[in-house]
Structure 1
């Protein structure tokens, strides 16, 4: 539907474009005739060779050569369009009267009629001049309408004559038309069971589109999906296998942590994930391989999270929070730094994970409080107006304090790292449940110019995330509607109010996660 409704594709199927193809063929034949005639008229024998009589001398050969290349390259596609349109029209011969065949559809001149009947685009105070301008414009548009109708009528006549010519040749069995699919013939095998014609957007009065063209469009979608499968996020998929439920969505923040401001900024999907990753890779006694692997997993996940946040956050209310997560992640991914603090040095200088959490929490708290003391602007009372650095610091303060409250001194560094990894996987999994809706929304792009590209990207995304969707099909899903499921705060509210009826009971960080996987609810692709 996106391809057949594309303006370029629609123009290529129009009768005027088909007629231009015939004109290109005639121009090519004229050039061929000139190529045969020129040597006889402008060349004479001189000794053992030929001498040109043209004022351009030897360059005339090259001029003719390059003109031939240009005409040939411009004619091939146009000629195929004319031939395909005539061949397709050939199967429609006899179904309509001659008058109906040459009938001009409304879409050819409706815009000109609307302009003719509309008011003047500029202000004229004098009534006499205003009427004169309107009459002149009406006269010009009537002339344009006449020319438009004449061109379309002539194009339809040329196409009808071409189709009738092919039709009579076919009946006399002088010209055998190959590729019976292009004339509307039935397909064999598995293709006969796949009817794509009901998804095609046709012009008014258009007989149809060749099946071979439809198959090429279908195959293009398949190729995009196969390309997506080849570049699937394997590290992210490995991390998602660690998640058995969505408990991490609730556990990353605790309401018992005192707020640094009267209003708490809302959460996005990406900022808690980035903050938890910073804490995890800063823990002591964690191998560099495990830390680097977590960074790779989260990097692949953030690519999808940013896409989900951007598409589902229609009002752009969380844009500043997404920017904060993006800025922090650049420092983590490239330099292993959070807010200019080297996480490797923090790991080396601290002996316990508790001290690291306290250091990160205290630093974040100082950053936010200093900002609030120095800024007295009433606009800053709204957390969404805070700079990205303050947003990130507030997130670090709350999450690190939450982990301190939950873990205490009982957790080893390796065990805490594993629990943080699972928490990150839970948040990623909850966010990725929005993928079906995101893919569907990309297919429903409003702009005609961007719709075809958007559908290709949707097919590519579907191929990349096919295995992720299969993993999520095995999860018990909360009964959230689409609008609520797009935001992490709505998830947290639902889980806190759920009391364990729809999801597994929430476990603390220090407890063992035991989740039954006996019942699975499939993720539906909503249109």
Structure 2
């Protein structure tokens, strides 16, 4: 390891001593500085990687900027100009990236002698202010535990930054005032000969703003916790109101229009209340954070205007080298971009906040800001009038007063964009009103969840809530089951005749295996059994067989959904499992209980002989096998085959020669059974919109309902053209209830 500067200095001292006969005392004095030169050179070697660390800081800052830009794009695309937090949120990952981006202001030991170095530190503080304002909305959807942990993490990060900056202001590492330095030192150490550094008051301003934003976080978190309780109660009431008009009546199937209104109403409740993005955006502290962002941008832009000369002169003398210039430019861009979202939130929720100005509510603090403190005050567990209780009451009282003071201050700050926005938007509204405003279904306004009486949502926001569900419905429409739709449209009968006739063995008093469960309690089993026979007919073109199988495959997906959600009874599960096993064998191996469905012997057989073959083999299994755990699924399948084939033979006789005619009759029965089962699809959609206590599950379920509605819209419209039995809606998920209805109607 070589120390070039140290060796050069030693050579100079030796030269002075040998060639110029400098006295020994002067030589010893010069050698005394050797230690400092050695240490300086050692520090230079250790700080060599700092250049790349600076680029790492710039890269972390760029990641934050891209996340904020993604929020902008998402907000504009979804027409939610309050920009719900989706990409730039508070999490362990984002806080780690932010901590890397904030390395400069928390660095206590790094020397920042250059003007660009100082501006980079100040720029990082300004960037942190804008990021905090952007992240504020992400507190809304968090549950209590998540909110507490993330708030603690943000508090630690901000407090650490503030404390470190305060220490650096005392040591002079931030905004050093150089006017007392010797002019010769300034001339020799500053390449741009700038005699002043950035305004020393600026760090104090940023520190105050960061602390205030942290207080805003804490105050908003307390209001969010209470607002969730209020929204939960209002969502439950809204769900009850929305469910009144969606109850099905005997003999009818709910229309697509009613189902769409039901889904749209629940989606509006989820978006306006359950996710709490919009509610947090409507808080006055959120508007105050937008004003703070604007102030930070103005201050940073003003200070940056005097930095161009220093940047051109490369006045960056810290260990980070030229990477300081990159950091300063990237984070300055971040300050400008990061201001857009908080300011937009001020104006996007403008009309929602207008009422507090109209009713002079500037100095009124709503209950939800302090109710959480009141809840804590009422908690019991300690003897009354104890020292602890008195201290607790005093602390809570002080916190309530501080909370009220912060809220009032935020309301006063929020007046700035509010007054400006009202003036501008009123003028624009007067200009464009004659051009025709968009019409909004005001009947949906009861489904916008207001967390405070007297505050209301403007028509544009209401329309945004209503239209935001459209992409979900359209996405579902792209995945509609076209083969199933074709099967129902072309093969299903007007009155679901196939449900009544596919098994008539009871009418002929034909005995069957005494199963532990009733055979007619499963929709899938007869569908799969009928498809098995249809696939075995040799004279049918492969295209027709493939289309039938594709329609059955798509239909079974929805039939399974009905059975698992509306017909999920313990006694029925064994039948459903047997049907699932049988379909897997048929669709994958093209076999029925190990027998080839298109074996060569069938090529020389008539349709009647093929049906008789299935009947005889099924009867053989029933006579030979005994009911046990290993054979139960097989016996259920052969019992289904025996009853259906016996019905076909008794109905049409053994001399069935026309494969095409039998294939069409089987296809018609399959289509009728599937269609009858799918009359329960509206109930599935309603069930997906049912009340759920877990907020995230509720939002996911309503989203699933919207997509499912898009998928099944055409099927529901087709079924509306059928003659729906005058049955109790609660009986329609059960096949045996359908068959009993048809038997009683004869």
- Check 1:106–1:307 CA distance in 2 against 1; reply closer, same or farther (3 A cut): farther
- Check 1:405–1:214 CA distance in 2 against 1; reply closer, same or farther (3 A cut): same
- Partner of residue 563, structure 2: 309
- Partner of residue 466, structure 2: 218
Question: Is 1:484 equivalent to 2:735 in the alignment?
Answer: no
- Check 1:141–1:232 CA distance in 2 against 1; reply closer, same or farther (3 A cut): same
- Partner of residue 429, structure 1: 675
From 688, 707, 728, give the equivalent of 1:460: 707
Residues 465-501 of structure 1 show CA distances to partners (whole Å, capped at 9, x for unaligned) of: 33333332222221112101122111111111122xx
Distance in 2 (CA, whole Å) between partners of 1:346 and 1:134 is 90
- Partner of residue 553, structure 2: 299
Q: Count the aligned residue pairs.
A: 469
**Native 8 Å contact 2:538 2:602 kept in 1:** yes
Aligned-residue offset at 1:80: 1.0
Question: Is 1:96 equivalent to 2:359 in the alignment?
Answer: yes
- Partner of residue 159, structure 1: 414
Distance in 1 (CA, whole Å) between partners of 2:400 and 2:592 is 66
- Check 1:33–1:138 CA distance in 2 against 1; reply closer, same or farther (3 A cut): same
From 403, 422, 427, give the equivalent of 2:648: 403
- Partner of residue 452, structure 2: 204
Aligned-residue offset at 1:115: 4.6
Aligned with 2:460: secondary structure? helix
- Check 1:56–1:428 CA distance in 2 against 1; reply closer, same or farther (3 A cut): same
- Partner of residue 59, structure 1: 323
- Check 1:44–1:209 CA distance in 2 against 1; reply closer, same or farther (3 A cut): same
Residues 228-269 of structure 1 show CA distances to partners (whole Å, capped at 9, x for unaligned) of: 444433322222232222121122233244232353345232
The correspondence of residues 175-190 of structure 1 with structure 2, limited to 5 A, is 175=424, 180=429, 188=436
Distance in 2 (CA, whole Å) between partners of 1:395 and 1:164 is 75
Which 5+ residue runs of structure 2 have no aligned equivalent? 1-267
**Native 8 Å contact 2:316 2:325 kept in 1:** no
Residues 103-149 of structure 1 show CA distances to partners (whole Å, capped at 9, x for unaligned) of: 333344445544543455xxxxxx87997877777777666655554
**Native 8 Å contact 2:274 2:695 kept in 1:** yes
Aligned-residue offset at 1:423: 0.5
Question: Is 1:474 equivalent to 2:721 in the alignment?
Answer: yes
- Partner of residue 15, structure 1: 284
- Check 1:240–1:75 CA distance in 2 against 1; reply closer, same or farther (3 A cut): same
**Native 8 Å contact 1:186 1:192 kept in 2:** no
Aligned-residue offset at 1:310: 3.3
Aligned-residue offset at 1:32: 3.3
Aligned with 2:328: secondary structure? helix
Question: Is 1:328 equivalent to 2:574 in the alignment?
Answer: no
- Partner of residue 488, structure 2: 240
Aligned-residue offset at 1:21: 3.1
- Check 1:408–1:209 CA distance in 2 against 1; reply closer, same or farther (3 A cut): same
Distance in 2 (CA, whole Å) between partners of 1:147 and 1:324 is 66
Which 5+ residue runs of structure 1 have no aligned equivalent? 121-126, 381-385, 500-527
The correspondence of residues 57-456 of structure 1 with structure 2, limited to 5 A, is 57-86=321-350, 88-90=352-354, 92=355, 95-97=358-360, 100-119=361-380, 148-167=403-422, 170=423, 175=424, 180=429, 188=436, 191=439, 196-205=444-453, 207-241=455-489, 242-244=491-493, 245-253=495-503, 254-255=505-506, 256-265=509-518, 267-313=521-567, 318-345=572-599, 348=602, 351-361=605-615, 372-375=626-629, 391-411=636-656, 412-446=658-692, 447-456=694-703
- Deviates further, 397-406 or 233-242: 397-406
**Native 8 Å contact 1:336 1:342 kept in 2:** yes
Greater CA radius of gyration, 1 or 2?
2
- Check 1:159–1:186 CA distance in 2 against 1; reply closer, same or farther (3 A cut): farther
Aligned-residue offset at 1:338: 3.6
Distance in 1 (CA, whole Å) between partners of 2:454 and 2:513 is 66
**Native 8 Å contact 1:271 1:321 kept in 2:** yes
Residues 145-196 of structure 1 show CA distances to partners (whole Å, capped at 9, x for unaligned) of: 55554544443343345423544xx2xxxx5667639x99799367267654
- Check 1:209–1:351 CA distance in 2 against 1; reply closer, same or farther (3 A cut): same
Could you say which structure has the higher helix fraction?
2
Aligned-residue offset at 1:424: 0.8
**Native 8 Å contact 1:88 1:184 kept in 2:** no
Distance in 1 (CA, whole Å) between partners of 2:573 and 2:334 is 50
Residues 380-433 of structure 1 show CA distances to partners (whole Å, capped at 9, x for unaligned) of: 9xxxxx975655454344433433443331323221111111101111221222
- Check 1:283–1:259 CA distance in 2 against 1; reply closer, same or farther (3 A cut): same
Aligned with 2:281: secondary structure? helix
- Check 1:212–1:346 CA distance in 2 against 1; reply closer, same or farther (3 A cut): farther
- Deviates further, 330-339 or 419-428: 330-339
Distance in 2 (CA, whole Å) between partners of 1:444 and 1:221 is 17
- Partner of residue 742, structure 2: 495
Aligned with 1:290: secondary structure? helix
